[in-house]
Structure 1
Amino acid sequence: MSRQQQWTGWGQAQQAQQHYLIEPRYLAGGGDLRHVSEFLRASGWKDITRKSATVLAFDSPDQTVRVAYQPPGGWQVHGAAQGHQPAWQVALTPQTPVEIVAGLTDALTKARSAHAPNVWAPLTENSWSTQQGDQFVAISPDRNAVVQYVQAGGDGSQNHWWVGARNEYGPVWNVQASASTPLHLMQSLTTALADPEPVMRPRGHVPPSNRIRTTSVSVRPDQLSNWQQARLSAARAATWGRNWVSSRARSATKASDYARTR
């Protein structure tokens, strides 16, 4: 179903371009990879694309996490073992909407909440149904998306998370995450997955599916740029804040150590 909507009030300095707001977002198609990569860059992650020989590759500032994109496999996120946290990995196929990928990767750049994570809460809060038997499963209201924790039996070493969406033509994308993936990252992913807000795609990038709803909008290039820059500015500001706090903490520690030696 398509509805025509004209955004006004921006003047005539630039030619407006046709885009579409698509819902549900999990059937919107892959989107622009820069939605993920530029946020990581703005958050202080190191671009190692040339060294890794992939389309995109970024290492976290502490070099414990790598995010990479390489067709035809799609996104790969690897976390190194740290203390009590074992190594973990997440694989997201190419047509996973970048807004859902970013639910996970944005969370990698932020401090972990003090609250205990709950992967299922964002789903049930948005009217996803749950089924509990041999496996625990959450299903979207339109039954086109699923989140499942797969218990493979045995010693549990094969347990994993599985997230996926399908339209009338079959499976569209899926995510597989090791059972050791930090739960706050999985909660961030399910929060982005269940978000009822539509996502935007340019003309020519709308999936041919009757299971999506589209709203046609005319958008000026400078407005698109402003939206993108606002997202990146928020990442830079948060990174600056974390670095400032860390620097102050180091300075305080050095001062305390110096005082004890006098």
Structure 2
Amino acid sequence: MRKKKADKAGWGAHEQPQQHYLVEPRHLAGGGDLRHVTEYLRASGWKDKSKTGGPLVFDSPDKNVRVGYDPFTQPGGWTISGKATASQDAWHATFGQQVPVEIVAGLTDALHQPRSAHAPNVWAPLVQAGWTTEQKGHVTSVSPDKNAWLQFHQTGPGEAFWWAGARTEHGRTWDVVITATTPMHLVQAFTAALADPDPVMRPLGHVPASNRIRTTSNSVLPSQLAAWQQARITAARAATWARNAWAAGQPRATARPSATAGKARARR
């Protein structure tokens, strides 16, 4: 009995570490685990509309935004679409399959986070990270390693979009296209994730073959990975609870006294 209790108490000591790598720059790290995006959406109250064996589809609680991932079509990848509302035009963003999930999550996480009181500045995160910006036909910002870029591509009135991409010595690895009607705070959240200097983790066998990346080997326990993933999910649930609690505490709109009085007089 003592031995069984000791084994149960020290179960973590019997885990087998798994080989992972910290990869930088993150824009060349490869796609990564889709659950980094989808589990955060699920924890934030999004409805999973996916069909077994088909593309992933998630709808926002208000049904105004849809996030999908389709690996079965070419070129495939992520699509994020927003419906037109009274205060917002319809918008659309596409992310190739090899866009790191941490960069995709920059935009998708921001879909249910409070907006900053400051006006969005799409270029600011890039400038702060040492990207160089120039205007030769289209405003373009290029990463310090020259392997990633963001461009505001405008060919005429009403013909504009954001275009980002990355390449290695083997050629183009991914593209992102975001319509000009996309809310600016979402575009800024994307550029902040794109320019983030922190490396991202990839398991053995999932590190792209390129001499333009730097890797640091790490042995990671499965319980550590689970704890890191759970912390992200817990943060999403807490933010969702706080947002819903705040909305529930707001006073409901009531008829103005003058309007009520007018109706009362009319009934006399």
**TM-based fold match above 0.5:** yes
CA contact (8 A) 1:54 1:69 kept: no
Mapped partners of 1:165, 1:132: distance in 2 = 19
Larger radius of gyration: 2
Measured in 2, the distance between the counterparts of 1:11 and 1:54 equals: 36
2:18 and 2:193 mapped to 1: Cα distance? 26
Deviation at 1:253, TM superposition (A): 2.2
Larger RCO, structure (CA 8 Å, separation 6 or more): 1
- Does the residue aligned with 2:202 lie in a helix, a strand or coil? strand
Contact 1:39 1:106 in 2 (8 A): yes
Structure 1 match to 2:69: 69
Alignment match, 2:153:
150
> Is structure 2 residue 96 aligned with structure 1 residue 97?
no
Q: Distance in 2 between matches of 1:215 and 1:60?
A: 37
* SS of 1:63 mapped into structure 2: coil
C-alpha contact (below 8 Å) 1:65/1:77 kept by paired residues: yes
Alpha-carbon distance change, 117 to 15 in structure 1, aligned in 2, over 3 angstroms: same
1:178-197 deviation line (CA, Å, top 9, x unaligned): 11011100100000000000
2:173 counterpart residue number:
172
CA contact (8 A) 1:23 1:213 kept: yes
Q: Which residue of 1 aligns with 2:264?
A: none
The verdict on how the C-alpha distance between 1:176 and 1:220 changes in structure 2, with shifts beyond 3 A counting, is same
Matched residues in 2 for 1:54 and 1:240: separation?
A: 30
The residue identity in structure 2 corresponding to 1:82 is T
Q: 1 CA distance for matches of 2:255 and 2:109?
A: 35
1:28, distance to aligned residue in structure 2 (A) = 0.2
The equivalent of 1:12 in structure 2 is: 13
Does structure 2 conserve the Cα–Cα contact (< 8 Å) formed by 1:88 and 1:178?
yes
1:143-181 CA-partner distances (Å, limit 9, x unpaired): 00000000022x32x211000000000000010011101
**C-alpha root-mean-square deviation of aligned residues, in Å?**
2.0
Q: What is the one-letter code of the residue matched to 2:248?
A: S
Deviation at 1:259, TM superposition (A): 10
By how many angstroms is 1:11 displaced? 6.2
Alignment deviations for residues 59-92 of structure 1 (CA, whole Å, 9 cap, x no partner): 0000000000002311001001112311000010
Q: Which residue of 1 aligns with 2:118?
A: 115
Q: Assess if the C-alpha contact under 8 Å between 1:164 and 1:175 holds in 2.
A: yes
1: CA distance between counterparts of 2:55 and 2:13?
A: 37
Give yes or no for the alignment of 1:78 onto 2:77.
no
Question: What corresponds to 1:4 in structure 2?
Answer: none
Aligned pair 1:138/2:141, yes or no? Answer: yes
TM-score, normalising length from structure 1? 0.90
Moved over 4 A (4+): 256-262
Give 1:257 shift: 6.2
Cα offset, 1:132, TM superposition? 1.3
Q: Identity across aligned pairs (percent)? A: 58
Give the match for residue 57 of structure 2: 57
Moved more, 42-51 or 191-200: 42-51
Match in the other structure for 2:266:
none
Contact 1:54–1:68 at 8 Å: present in 2 too?
no
TM-score by structure 2 length?
0.88
| Residue 200, structure 1, aligned to residue 198, structure 2 | no
SS at match of 2:155: coil
- The aligned residue for residue 39 of structure 1 is 40
Whole-Å Cα distance in 1 between the matches of residues 17 and 61 of structure 2?
Answer: 39
Aligned to 2:6: none
Change (3 A) 1:41 1:259: farther
Measure how far apart 1:133 and its partner are.
2.8
1:220-235 aligned within 5 A: 220-235=221-236
- Show structure 2 runs of 5+ residues with no match: 1-10, 262-268
In structure 2, what is the Cα distance between the partners aligned to 1:76 and 1:54?
A: 15
Letter in 1 for 2:84: A
Structure 1: 5+ residue runs without aligned partners? 1-9
